């Protein structure tokens, strides 16, 4: 890693850390400080879980090929937060939620998530380790999609929350779900999977929305601060893209005099 | 006791996370951190390998339980358990030098069974996508839906090897090079920023996954 990249990385991490900690304190004092924009998928999720409980059927949640120890670790933890919120709501029902994974490192993560969800409801005796299922397959495997499609029928799944790392194989699961008239909430960190989710899911989550589940469904100050930090970084990135682009356009129109004028304005040459 | 365990697990996660981060950032200047980072990453690889065993036990437990309770699809579970045991046995025999054929029989099984099935399923993805466009438009006609269907049509028609479709092929190439590429970068940047925030939240102990 060269020196400039090092410095920029450290600055971004420090900025993220500082904003996250400060905003958490502000939100702890005033809960209504920041209004979260509406995300239909998160609005629909409690209702979807409620319908599953009434129908005495399981909710199926899946990590796809996201797991721990690789580049998809933060995604796996973000999906995990969504699954925790889903499982916590579904725990009061008669049928436990089903959590499917393709990466074996997500098996203990999923088991712990379900255990914590049942524990938080004081229903730990209802928790079953078999609710987490490993379908061995490589990343973006169609065999994994085929296994999920079979699960929908065999376990009479009520709704699917497919949030993790999926490719185009997501289309097969979503299509099978649509044929059974089951709700699908879906998203992926892979672009092709994301496109399929947008087209086929009843409620798609787009891009970074996966990472905001805790703030929308849990609502703790630190989780909301995470969303605010994302927004701050996003606006800084917009400025970092827009300002040089505006200068380049200005220079092209004014034959290089635009950047010179700005330089003089800021006290330079 | 629970709180103490949570505090200890948080301290371990934060400590290891920060040391690894420092090692990755300044490892070239301070070799001690680079060594520590290497050791931690090796531990991660070993732990990940162990989770495969956990996965195999999970797979067998789920399916033997399904067979025992005669739940839906239990016949397939019998096939799965027998196949898994069979492949495991074949692999052990290969490693023991009892089966010495080239290519290895487990490789042949993988290529003839899994690869063939996946190829067949890949053919279905296109139909699922077209059905998705139809379903999207039937549910509610929105600008997003119209745009999606139009782009899908242009991409499909533009990929046809027929004469007289040069204009559509050029449009397809432009769509892929400019708006699709721009949108893709936007989504990836959003995901990257969210990943940074999620990682920092774990490092400063704001994430709940290892605290309870």
Among the listed ranges A22-31, B43-52, B98-107, which one has the minimum average pLDDT value?
A: B98-107
Phi, psi (5° rounding) for residue B126?
-60, -45
The bridge status of strand A203-204 relative to strand A183-188 is parallel
H/E run at residue A62: strand A59-64
H/E run at residue B140: none
Q: Answer yes or no: are the C-beta atoms of A13 and B202 closer than 8 Å.
A: no
Of the partner residues B125, B186, B206, the one whose CB lies closest to the CB of residue A171: B125
Residues B4 and B67 reside in one and the same domain? yes
Chain A contacts of B44, Cβ < 8 Å?
A: 69
Could you tell me the residue ranges of all domains in chain A?
36-218, 220-269
CB contact under 8 A, A226 and B198: yes
pTM of the prediction? 0.86
Residues B8 and B84 reside in one and the same domain? yes
> Per the domain annotation, does B73 fall within a domain?
yes
Instruction: Tell me which chain B residue has its CA closest to the CA of residue A171.
Output: B128
Residues B12 and B71 reside in one and the same domain? yes
CB contact under 8 A, B136 and A199: yes
| Cα distances (Å, whole numbers) of residue A100 to A131, A176, B8, B138 | 8, 16, 30, 31
Q: Would you give the distance in Å from CA A128 to the centre of its chain?
A: 25
What pLDDT score does B166 carry? 81
H/E run at residue B32: helix B31-69
The set of residues, in sequence order, having a beta carbon less than 8 Å from that of B168 and lying 6+ positions away, is B154, B157, B158
Query: ipTM score here?
Result: 0.86
21-50 of B, contacting A, C-beta below 8 A:
21, 24-26, 28, 44-45, 47-48
pLDDT tens digit string along B141-184? 777 778 777 877 887 787 777 777 788 888 888 888 898 899 88
DSSP-assigned beta bridge partners for residue A204:
A186
Nearest CA distance, A236 vs chain B (angstrom): 11
> Per the domain annotation, does B113 fall within a domain?
no
CATH class of the A36-218 domain in this structure: alpha beta
Of the partner residues B114, B136, B198, the one whose CB lies closest to the CB of residue A77: B198
Nearest CA distance, B99 vs chain A (angstrom): 25
| Number of structural domains in chain B | 2
Parent domain of B150: 141-206
Last residue of a domain, one of B77, B96, B115: B96
Per-residue pLDDT of chain A (269 residues; tens, 9 = 90+): 677 888 888 889 999 999 999 999 999 888 788 888 999 999 999 999 999 999 999 999 999 999 988 888 889 999 999 999 999 999 999 899 999 999 999 999 999 999 999 999 999 999 988 899 998 876 557 888 988 998 898 889 999 999 999 988 898 899 899 888 899 999 998 888 898 898 888 899 998 899 999 899 988 888 899 999 999 999 999 999 999 999 889 888 888 888 888 888 877 65
Instruction: Tell me which chain A residue has its CA closest to the CA of residue B190.
Output: A208
> Per the domain annotation, does B156 fall within a domain?
yes
């Amino acid at each position: 890693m060269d020196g400039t990249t090092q410095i920029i990385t450290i600055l971004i991490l420090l900025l993220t850390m500082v904003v996250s900690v400060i905003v958490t304190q502000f939100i702890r004092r005033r809960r209504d400080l920041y209004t979260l924009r509406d995300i239909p998928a998160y609005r629909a999720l409690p209702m979807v879980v409620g319908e599953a409980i009434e129908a005495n059927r399981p909710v199926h949640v899946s990590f796809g090929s996201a797991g721990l120890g690789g580049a998809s670790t933060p995604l796996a933890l973000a999906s995990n937060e969504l699954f925790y919120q889903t499982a916590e709501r579904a725990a009061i029902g008669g049928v436990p939620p089903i959590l499917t994974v393709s990466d074996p490192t997500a098996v203990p993560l999923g088991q712990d998530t379900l255990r914590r969800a049942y524990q938080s409801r004081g229903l730990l005796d209802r928790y079953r380790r078999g609710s987490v299922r490993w379908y061995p397959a490589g990343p973006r495997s169609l065999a994994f999609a085929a296994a999920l499609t079979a699960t929908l029928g065999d376990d009479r799944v009520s709704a699917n929350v497919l949030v993790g790392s999926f490719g185009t194989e997501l289309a097969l699961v979503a299509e099978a779900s649509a044929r059974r008239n089951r709700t699908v909430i879906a998203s992926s960190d892979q672009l092709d999977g994301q496109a399929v989710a947008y087209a086929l899911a009843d409620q798609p989550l787009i891009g970074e929305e996966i990472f905001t589940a805790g703030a929308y469904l849990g609502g703790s100050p630190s989780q909301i601060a995470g969303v605010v930090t994302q927004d701050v970084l996003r606006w800084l990135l917009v400025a970092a893209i827009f300002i040089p682009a505006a200068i380049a356009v200005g220079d092209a129109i004014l034959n290089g005099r635009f950047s010179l004028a700005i330089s003089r304005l800021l006290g330079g040459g | 006791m629970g709180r103490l365990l949570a505090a200890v697990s948080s301290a371990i996660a934060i400590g290891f996370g920060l040391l690894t981060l420092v090692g990755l950032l300044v490892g070239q200047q301070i070799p001690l951190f680079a060594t520590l980072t290497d050791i931690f990453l090796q531990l991660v690889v070993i732990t990940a390998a162990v989770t495969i065993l956990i996965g195999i036990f999970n797979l067998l437990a789920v399916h033997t339980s399904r067979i025992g309770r005669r739940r839906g699809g239990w016949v397939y579970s019998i096939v799965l358990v027998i196949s898994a045991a069979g492949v495991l046995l074949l692999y052990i025999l290969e490693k023991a030098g009892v089966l010495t054929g080239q290519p290895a029989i487990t490789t042949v099984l993988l290529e003839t069974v899994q690869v063939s099935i996946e190829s067949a399923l890949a053919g279905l993805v296109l139909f699922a996508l077209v059905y998705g466009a139809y379903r999207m438009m039937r549910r509610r006609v929105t600008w997003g839906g119209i745009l999606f269907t139009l782009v899908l049509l242009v991409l499909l028609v533009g990929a046809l090897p027929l004469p007289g479709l040069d204009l559509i092929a050029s449009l397809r190439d432009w769509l892929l090079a400019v708006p699709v590429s721009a949108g893709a970068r936007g989504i990836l940047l959003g995901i990257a920023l969210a990943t940074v925030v999620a990682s920092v939240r774990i490092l400063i102990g704001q994430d709940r996954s290892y605290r309870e």
